[in-house]
Amino acid sequence: MTTTTHHPQRTPQDAPAAAAATRQVGGGVFSPRQLLTSLPDALRKFDPRHQLRNPVMFVVWVGSVLVTVFAIGDPSGFSIGVAAWLWFTVLFANLAEAVAEGRGKAQAESLRRTKTDAVARRLVDGVEERVAGTELRIGDLVVVEAGEVIPGDGDVVEGIATVDESAITGESAPVIRESGGDRCAVTGGTTVLSDRVVVRVTTKPGESFVDRMIALVEGAQRQKTPNEIALTILLSTLTIIFLLAVVALQPMAAYSGSAQSVIVLTALLVCLIPTTIGALLSAIGIAGMDRLVQRNVLATSGKAVEAAGDIDTLLLDKTGTITFGNRRATELVAVGGTTPEELAAAVRLSSLADGTPEGRSIVELCAERFGLSAEPTDHEKTGEFVEFSANTRMSGIDLGDLSVRKGAAGAVRAWVAENGGEVSSEVGPVVDEISAQGGTPLVVAEIRGGVASVRGVVRLSDVVKPGMRERFAELRAMGIRTVMVTGDNPLTAKAIADEAGVDDFLAEAKPEDKMALIRQEQEGGKLVAMTGDGTNDAPALAQSDVGVAMNTGTSAAKEAGNMVDLDSDPTKLIEIVEIGKQLLITRGALTTFSVANDLAKYFAILPAMFAGIYPQLDKLNIMHLATPQSAILSAVIFNALIIVVLIPLALRGVRYRPSSASALLRRNLLVYGLGGVVTPFAGIWLVDLLVRLVPGIG
């Protein structure tokens, strides 16, 4: 039996990407040790030029300096305590940002260790010359053989090889890279394990994919997103309003005969402005990108992460995303008096040397349901395998006086007719029914003893991945519309779409059709996300608001998208949307908590300031704080400590449950709004119990 060699294909990354990421960055779990290791970076952030970037914390920094000056001029337990805890407030805010940045820098450092100064074998007019990898330029051709490191990013233009990309993706299984198609891109620093390839360099030295990865995960270089800028403006406005309110209090206090010290007024200002969210805002944004890195996804900017949280429409390729990608034999339908066992024997024989996924699935089906051997006998090995071709649209085997063919209905019918046989009337309805249900029919026929006849039909099904209907239901609950994009005919596309549970589908899709659909959605004010890996996907990736390119794809696709999935798992787009929503929800939840927080601190400080003049205000002292000084100092201490308490939540993110916007708002107000009011009452009261023990304050 003559056979053809089939190159192995990369298997889908079914394991969660987070497992690979855990190996790289230790997961996303917060460790108290991170506070200590990030302390030097936090101390460096006391630089006023750094503080100026955050208006809320800059006000706290200025207040700390002011109170410190007054405390030095008139030292007391109260003034020194307030000054110290104001500085701790700034320190804890710096610490939150430093911890978030530190996790990104740890990932960047691990990536730097993967960089290798490789020696390249550059081809010039067909002659090899050895040069340093740093001397390569765009368009250069380099030869890489087994055991050698690929010197720079590029596309394979000749040959096929297995490549170890574990240093980049964390996945130990080697991958196939070959010329042509959508699996030609290679990354500098990865290692060729077998065979020989010629690579065309596509990046300049210092601009490789690894270099860009390092720059992306460095939290310190992360620019503020539009939502962050808008929230910063809001917080700055609130700070100005509270500043004016505090300044206006002093004339009132002086008129009443109880002028307040600068220390008390500063403490009041710091406690009333939204210091909690101001301190954690940067850490929340950095942690959002870090959560993507933990799942082996790189975002070119924070804007892409936020856009993922606001997505309205999700475009998903059918093959490899919604379905497994390889059609599988799921049913054998015998016709014309043929028994199922006879059909199984015939179609197994025609598929023994068929190395395609469809052929292997037919042999597996025959072995599983009819107990037939998956391996050919010695006699069967003497047969001649007939490969599938676009002209014949059939494949099969010739074994002595027996010939078996399987393939497209029209081609097999013609083959039977050419050999003097008749096609059973049962074949047409079976073929039509399978096609109408979204399957692919393969007609099986044989010539035995000079008589040609059709034995039956094999149903090939594009199997939908388990759990997809449930995941699409979750997306629907988030208000996201899902659209399946496929090159199949509308009949097949509808059957798959109904089985998977997507909201809509685009059949017989060409690159320009994807672009048109994306633009149509965007013109309606919607944000669109999609995945892609081929050069033909690049225009749509660039047009979409969130374009996730597969790492196995072409360089053009990776350049066009604003995210790169190192695991090349198209279904991860759903996780990316959830991470984006978690980022937005975390920011909203902590903003709600911070604003609600101020209400309780208001009840702690204002009664303490004026209770001596207006005894009626003592009724507002519902926490029964010991003295005005202990009340003010307790509020300042709580204001600082709550930042440290919330750092793990800011880094981990608020748990996201798919639900409507109104349900999320109710949950936010109930948990973080009410919690923001109640927590300070208990916290300030507990701190006051300790503060009142300090001589001169309690």
Binding residues for Mg(2+): 533, 537
Nearest to 581 by CA among 518, 636, 643, 663: 663
Structure tokens at 21: 């990421």
d(CA 101, CA 268): 31
What token pair was written down for 34?
């991170």
Kind plus residue range of the DSSP H or E element containing 688? helix 674-691
396 forms bridges with which residues in the sheet? 386, 405
- Measured in residues, the chain has a length of 698
| Residue 317 known to be catalytic | yes
CB 183 within 8 Å of CB 551: no
Q: Which amino acids are annotated as binding site, given as ranges?
A: 354, 358, 388-395, 406, 533, 537
Query: What is the rounded CA–CA span in Å between residue 632 and residue 379?
Result: 95
Count Cβ atoms within 10 A of the Cβ of residue 48 and give its class: 0-12 exposed, 13-18 middle, 19 or more buried.
exposed
Element (H, E) at 67: helix 55-73
Say how far apart CA 396 and CA 176 lie, in whole Å.
Answer: 28
Q: Rounded to whole angstroms, how far apart are CA atoms 447 and 349?
A: 13
**CA 131, 135, 136 angle in degrees (round to 5)?**
95
First to last CA, the chain: 96
Residues with Cβ within 8 Å of 505's Cβ and at least 6 positions away in sequence, in order, are 483, 484, 485, 486, 493, 494, 496, 497
CA distance 389 to 407: 10
d(CA 471, CA 316): 13
Name the nearest CA neighbour of 109 among 285, 299, 293.
Answer: 293
Q: Exposure string (b/e) for 201-235, b if CB count within 10 Å is 16 or more?
A: bbbebeebbbbbbbebbbbeebebbebbeebbeeb
- The active-site residue, picked from 140, 155, 211, 317, is 317
In eight-state DSSP terms, residue 670 is I
Instruction: Give burial (CB, 10 Å; 0-12/13-18/19+) of 689.
Output: middle
Binding residues for ATP: 354, 358, 388-395, 406
User: Could you tell me the sign of the dihedral formed by the alpha carbons of 248, 251, 252, 253, in that order?
Assistant: positive
Q: Which residues are catalytic?
A: 317
